Structure 1
Amino acid sequence: MVNLLNNSAANSNHALAGTKKLTATPNKNPGINQSTPQGPFGNARDSSTVSTLASQLSEASVRAQARDARLTRMELSSMAKNTFNELEGANYTVNKSKYDSEVPDSDNPTLLARAKSATQYTNGVGKNPFSGMPMDQLDLITYDDSGTFTVNERRAALEESAKQEFAWQQKVAAEAEYEYNSTGKLTTLFQNVLEHYKGLPPVVQAQYPSDYETKLKGWIDLDFNYFTHIAEGNKNKDTENFVSKIIKGDSSLFANKTSPKESVAT
């Protein structure tokens, strides 16, 4: 995604909400979530509302596929940074009045209502209109700069993505602690993180170190046992730090490191 993001570019995705992802495997269907996400429209969301959003997401998916095929990984990473600059921090604050007055170029009441809800949410009023939406759909909205979605809608999608991502990280960290205490290993952690990474769209993957997948695969193959290869006095603290780095995609793990053993022991 969503996206485990590295501490440099992608971690800004998570800084907005303070807490991050519900499931490790995002829904890859670019259409509307089959379980109907919660939001200001509630469970009574009518068919026209659902079809409108589904149509927008489908078109955004086509644009995203074309973009991802056209741009290099480095260019996608730069594009993501530009997105964060637009949707958060000083740039967003300076232009807040402009973004709050933005409305869809349409007389469709569904589009107008959702944009209004997003603006209210970004001002601390009401619920996020994209609450509960799958991560891949949130990413489609966040990185779509076509004007289909207002800036406040994209920011709301980014915040929901950050919230879900943090929740996922918390879950995986707890599982990793149990795995380590039970077996002395973190191999399942690496497998879960790799599965999560492979499920992210290219624009989110581009925010990770280029050797992220290769390193994870190597650590999985190593199947390292920390009980027999780490100083016992520093075991718990070192492991906690290492798990945190892995989950957040800390770039220090992906520079001149050949095994997780070296990272834990430092």
Structure 2
Amino acid sequence: MTIGIGSSTPATSQTTSGSRTQDVSTKGAEQGENATPTSGSSKPSSQLSTLAQQLSDSALRAEERDASLDRKALGQKADALLQPITRDFHLHRAKYDAEVPNTDDPELLERAKQATSFVSGKGSNPFSGLSQDQLALVIYDDSGTFTANEQRAAWLEGRAQETAWKQAVVARGKLEYEQTGKMTEFFKEVLGNYNELPPIMQAQYPDFYAPRLEHLIEMDFNFMTHRAEGKGAPEDIFEILMSSEDFANLGKRFANSSVS
């Protein structure tokens, strides 16, 4: 089932309130890596501190970047940064696999090596367990701090988290629809998720994304009775749903969907 609830990267499956845990602080980076039961290895505190410092520095650069670009330019920047590690990744595998960080730090060299192994299908992801905000600091950093394979590994972790979150939120949305005929809580959860994304990820969504969700929430529309129980007229829902493929026939999709 395809529905417009995310772009290319959001979220953990642990959330029950619709919001994802996100923490850019150095403490958050250390906690994120320590809380990685599926990573297959524990990381020394010195490496955690090194990553935390890198994320802190990247956060400062990201803040400056986000403040200097409008939404459209930020979206274009995101697309340009993603292309080498997504659409064009396999065109440059040899180059990326040979890339070595410009450092003598054995921990950073080992992390880059681990990332190269992971994107080749071997070993664990060195960024497993980081929050979406922290992953974004790796993925969209253009300072050369992280290798392309490290950024690819961070992107893959973000995509895995997004998939888990989508499965959970769609399952809850399906249950809401079956029990009430509504999808209002589903829309609230999707909007809450969007509002927590860093600016460079929000900029990859269409401009109408948040306002449309807000309108749908205000309407509190019942798809079974075809009545708006909140603000708005019943006919509004059809204009909203049919004006974008992302939102078209959501009620029918939930009724016919099977979510594991």
Normalising by the residue count of structure 1, what TM-score does the alignment of the two structures yield?
0.78
CA contact (8 A) 2:78 2:200 kept: yes
User: Which residue, out of 155, 161, 166, partners 1:169?
Assistant: 166
Q: Which amino acid aligns with 1:78?
A: Q
Q: CA 1:122/1:262 → structure 2, altered by over 3 Å: closer, same or farther?
A: closer
Is structure 2 residue 55 aligned with structure 1 residue 96?
A: no
The structural deviation recorded for 1:82 is 1.1
Is structure 2 residue 116 aligned with structure 1 residue 124?
A: no
CA contact (8 A) 1:40 1:117 kept: no
Q: CA-to-partner distance for each residue in 1:131-162, whole Å, 9 max, x for gaps?
A: 11111101110000110000000000000000
Percent identity, aligned pairs only?
Answer: 42
- Helix, strand or coil for the counterpart of 1:128? coil
Normalising by the residue count of structure 2, what TM-score does the alignment of the two structures yield?
0.80
The structural deviation recorded for 1:213 is 1.1
**Corresponding residue for residue 42 of structure 1:** 41
User: Which residue, out of 131, 135, 148, partners 1:134?
Assistant: 131
**Corresponding residue for residue 25 of structure 2:** 30
- Helix, strand or coil for the counterpart of 1:95? helix
Structure 2 alignment gaps of length 5 or more: 228-237, 254-260
Q: Which amino acid aligns with 1:30?
A: S
Q: CA-to-partner distance for each residue in 1:247-266, whole Å, 9 max, x for gaps?
A: xxx98257xxxxx7987589
User: Which residue, out of 215, 218, 221, partners 2:215?
Assistant: 218
**Corresponding residue for residue 204 of structure 1:** 201
Q: Structure 1 runs of 4+ off > 6 angstroms?
A: 260-263
- Helix, strand or coil for the counterpart of 2:221? coil
CA contact (8 A) 1:141 1:154 kept: yes
Q: CA 1:184/1:117 → structure 2, altered by over 3 Å: closer, same or farther?
A: same
Is structure 2 residue 105 aligned with structure 1 residue 105?
A: no
The structural deviation recorded for 1:227 is 1.2
Q: CA-to-partner distance for each residue in 1:223-247, whole Å, 9 max, x for gaps?
A: 01111019xxxxxxxxxxx9xxx9x
Is structure 2 residue 78 aligned with structure 1 residue 80?
A: yes
Q: CA 1:132/1:218 → structure 2, altered by over 3 Å: closer, same or farther?
A: same
The structural deviation recorded for 1:40 is 6.0
Q: CA-to-partner distance for each residue in 1:161-220, whole Å, 9 max, x for gaps?
A: 000001000000000011011111100001101110000001000011102111111111
User: Which residue, out of 235, 244, 248, partners 1:252?
Assistant: 244
Q: CA-to-partner distance for each residue in 1:31-71, whole Å, 9 max, x for gaps?
A: 2142514376823x222111100000000000011000001
